[in-house]
Structure 1
Amino acid sequence: MIEIEFTPEDVARTRFVVSPLWEVIVSVRVLKGADELGIHRVWSEQVRARVAAARVDLTPLTDLVPVPTRAIAGFLTPPPTTPLTSLDVELATLRATTPESLTTSSAIPPERMAALRADPDRELGRLAETIETYWELALAPYWPQILTLLQGDVSFRARRLVEGGARHLFNDLDPQVTWDAGTLHVQNRFTGGRRTLDGRGLLLMPSAFVWPRVFSSLDGGPQPTLRYPPRGIGTLWATPTRTAEYDALAGVLGRSRATLLAELTAPASTTDLARRTGLTPGGVSQHLSALRAAGLVGAHRAGRTVLYARTQAAETLLAAARSA
């Protein structure tokens, strides 16, 4: 068990971030077998086929992400400085890694680390190029739906914080995380002890590829970080299915608008809803406008993306359809 002590300044500095580079690293773990329960099986099968067809050498990246060990070299995942950074910005930080920051573990091939330390500029540049190639094959085609899930979780957690403060936020974060009297308790089979944040606060990072684990990075580095699975992770690769309330509402609202309401189990963008429903983006936008005017859908901006969510009135309507 890890016990993280918070001061008032730590609570004030705690914030949420999303990191494309972190998703690269932990998704490599999944491809290498760290998905015992098969939650990402649909994605893994598609990506393995795409990587094989491309015939690219990903070893500069995959060698640095050993499995089954949970340890991830810190230099691979620099903490983001903004809530929603870009992969390009994170790769620029990676390329600028200093030689003394090139930490390793016994599971990483020694020759790989020796090459990195012998010529950091060349090898870090090669690593960044490999990550870019991997991103285009493995994550770029799926990033809109992944990002929608992550941003939806951040929006939900922000509401929890507003409604009930830090206790309300942390006690709902994950079953492995609990809050008590200014201390955050994180279950961990491999390490334990008390940690202080020294006024730096804690970065909270929802991550699509960490479930069912929580990853903490608390020792050393510029910013203590806790990575946790977002709400609704089990629906990320799911094919939408019809429900009783979907059919019931279709007779009242029309099939397209009922479909959109049924899909909004978590906040989603117009692009993501179009992909999931088969409707055109223009059609989705038109239907959402009508639903919003009727008080069944609300909208909020997350970075450059507008996310839509069901209102309480919509939840009541769905509940009535279920009971009927």
Structure 2
Amino acid sequence: MIEVEFGLEDVARTRFALSPLWEVVASVRVLKGADEQGLHHPWAERVRPRLAAADADLAPLFDLVPVPARSPWSGRVPGFICPAPATPLPSLAVELEAVKATPPVLLHTTAEVPPARMAALRADPGRELGRLAEAIEAYWELALAPYWPRVLTLLENDIRYRAGRLVEGGAQHLFADLDPQVCWADGTLHLEHRTFHGMRRLDGRGLLLVPSAFVWPRVFSVLNEPWQPSLRYPPRGVGTLWHTRPAPVSEALAGVVGRSRAAILAQLAAPASTTDLAHRTGLTPGGVSQHLAALRAAGLVGAHRAGRHVLYARTRAGETLVTAAGA
């Protein structure tokens, strides 16, 4: 059990943030076996063939994410590949600039990563951190960019819920249902941990709370300097993230954008190709392409290349429209 002691300044400086970079790292852990319950199996089934077919060197990233051990509390990740975000919603590009600017003194880890990889990083930090950033960008485009609107909607909804809990009842109310491994009592946050024990003080730095889709069922805590103390936890509703049951077409949405386009938006709960959409909706591939062009022009759908295929997915605006219409 770790006890995190809060002072008045810590409560005042506790904040929320999202981290695309952390989702990269956590999702690589999933691909390496951190999803024994199969929550992310639908995503992994789609992504693994794309990664295998892609002409991209992902070793600089995959080498630095250890194979998760059987214990849910083991399997450290090097801190320098996912520093705490400085703003509430940084872009991946902003976070990668922070990685590339990592001081050489921080290029060390107790995680089980190949010694040759760490030796190369220390020998030529500029070159190797640049290669790491390139590998992360390539992985993002193949594995996460097509799904990011859906993941982002889940994470933002959790932050809105948590903010409301904080307003309603303060820190105790905020942490009461954060996760079964976390509880709050008498100004102290208690974190279940099988390896580490004792008291940690925030020393006025506050706590950074980062909801993460791919972290489930774990809670990751980072309480050592030089980064702001942070807690990465599963958001509410993560179990529905890859729900693939066909969504009914909303009559309200069909009245605004037309039945065919409403049907396409409903089917894009998960990224899909033109061929997939034609099969699911009964429309011709040419008709689907025309509707997708209109939806993209309206900012409701985005396109991402995954190997030899182009996948379409709802944008944040598209997610909002579908949710508001009750589809």
TM-score range, shorter chain: 0.7 to 0.9
For residues 1-324 of structure 1, the aligned pairs below 5 Å read 1-69=1-69, 70-105=75-110, 107-240=112-245, 255-257=250-252, 275-276=268-269
- Partner of 1:209, secondary structure, is coil
How many Å separate the matches in 1 of 2:162 and 2:228?
Answer: 20
- Partner of 1:33, secondary structure, is helix
Paired AA for residue 48 in structure 1:
R
Is the Cα contact below 8 Å between 1:207 and 1:227 reproduced in 2?
A: yes
How many Å separate the matches in 2 of 1:91 and 1:106?
Answer: 21
* Residue 308 of structure 1, CA deviation: 7.6
- Partner of 2:174, secondary structure, is helix
1:133 to 1:224, Cα distance in 2 relative to 1, 3 A = same
* Residue 275 of structure 1, CA deviation: 2.9
Of stretches 126-135 and 60-69 in structure 1, the one that deviates more from structure 2 is 60-69
* Residue 47 of structure 1, CA deviation: 0.6
1:272 to 1:27, Cα distance in 2 relative to 1, 3 A = farther
* Residue 188 of structure 1, CA deviation: 1.2
Is the Cα contact below 8 Å between 1:79 and 1:223 reproduced in 2?
A: yes
* Residue 239 of structure 1, CA deviation: 1.6
1:257 to 1:48, Cα distance in 2 relative to 1, 3 A = same
Is the Cα contact below 8 Å between 1:144 and 1:272 reproduced in 2?
A: no
1:177 to 1:142, Cα distance in 2 relative to 1, 3 A = same
How many Å separate the matches in 1 of 2:95 and 2:233?
Answer: 20
Q: Which runs of 5+ in 1 are unaligned?
A: 247-253, 260-270, 286-302, 316-324
* Residue 310 of structure 1, CA deviation: 8.5
- Partner of 2:34, secondary structure, is coil
- Partner of 1:150, secondary structure, is helix
How many Å separate the matches in 2 of 1:236 and 1:80?
Answer: 23
Match of 1:265 in 2: none
Paired AA for residue 200 in structure 1:
R
TM-score (norm 1): 0.77
- Partner of 1:185, secondary structure, is strand
How many Å separate the matches in 1 of 2:76 and 2:52?
Answer: 27
How many Å separate the matches in 1 of 2:250 and 2:2?
Answer: 49
How many Å separate the matches in 2 of 1:232 and 1:217?
Answer: 24
Percent of aligned positions that are identical: 60
Q: Which runs of 5+ in 2 are unaligned?
A: 70-74, 255-263, 271-280, 282-290, 299-315
How many Å separate the matches in 2 of 1:192 and 1:256?
Answer: 55
- Partner of 1:4, secondary structure, is strand
1:132 to 1:160, Cα distance in 2 relative to 1, 3 A = same
Runs of 4 or more above 6 Å deviation: 271-274, 277-282, 303-306, 308-311
Is the Cα contact below 8 Å between 2:9 and 2:206 reproduced in 1?
A: yes
How many Å separate the matches in 2 of 1:144 and 1:310?
Answer: 13
Deviation digits for residues 26-51 of structure 1 (CA, Å, limit 9, x no counterpart): 11110111111110001111110101
Paired AA for residue 251 in structure 2:
S
* Residue 7 of structure 1, CA deviation: 0.8
TM-score (norm 2): 0.76
- Partner of 1:201, secondary structure, is coil
1:258 to 1:190, Cα distance in 2 relative to 1, 3 A = farther
1:107 to 1:258, Cα distance in 2 relative to 1, 3 A = same
- Partner of 1:128, secondary structure, is helix
